[in-house]
Amino acid sequence: MKKQESDQGIQINKYISNSGFCSRREADKLVDDARVTINDDIALPTSRVQAGDVVAIDGEKIKSKQRPIYIALNKPVGVTSTTDMSDKTNIIRFMNHPKRIFPVGRLDKDSEGLILLTNDGDLTQKLSHPSHEVKKIYEVKLDKPLGKVDFDKILKGLELEDGFVRADSLAFSDPKDKAIIGIELHSGRNRIVRRMFEFLGYDVRNLDRVMFGNLTKKNVERGKWRYLNEKEIRLLKFMNSSFIKKQKV
- Residue 9's region, left for phi above 0, alpha for psi from -120 to 50, else beta, is left
Q: How far is CA 211 from the centre of its chain?
A: 13
Closest CA to 37 of 62, 19, 8, 64: 62
C-alpha triplet 201, 204, 207: angle, nearest 5°: 145
Helical (H) or strand (E) element with 125: helix 121-128
Encode burial over 91-104: b for 16+ CB neighbours within 10 A, e otherwise.
Answer: bbebbeeeeebbbb
Task: Please pick, among 28, 41, 108, 168, the residue that the annotation labels catalytic.
Answer: 108
Q: Output the CA–CA distances (angstroms, integers) from residue 98 to 62, 76, 93, in the order listed.
A: 15, 20, 11
Separate counts of helices (H) and strands (E) for the chain = 7, 18
Backbone angles phi, psi at 240, to 5 degrees: -65, -45
Closest CA to 137 of 82, 100, 186, 67: 186
33 as an active site residue: the answer is: no
Instruction: List, by residue number, the catalytic residues.
Output: 108
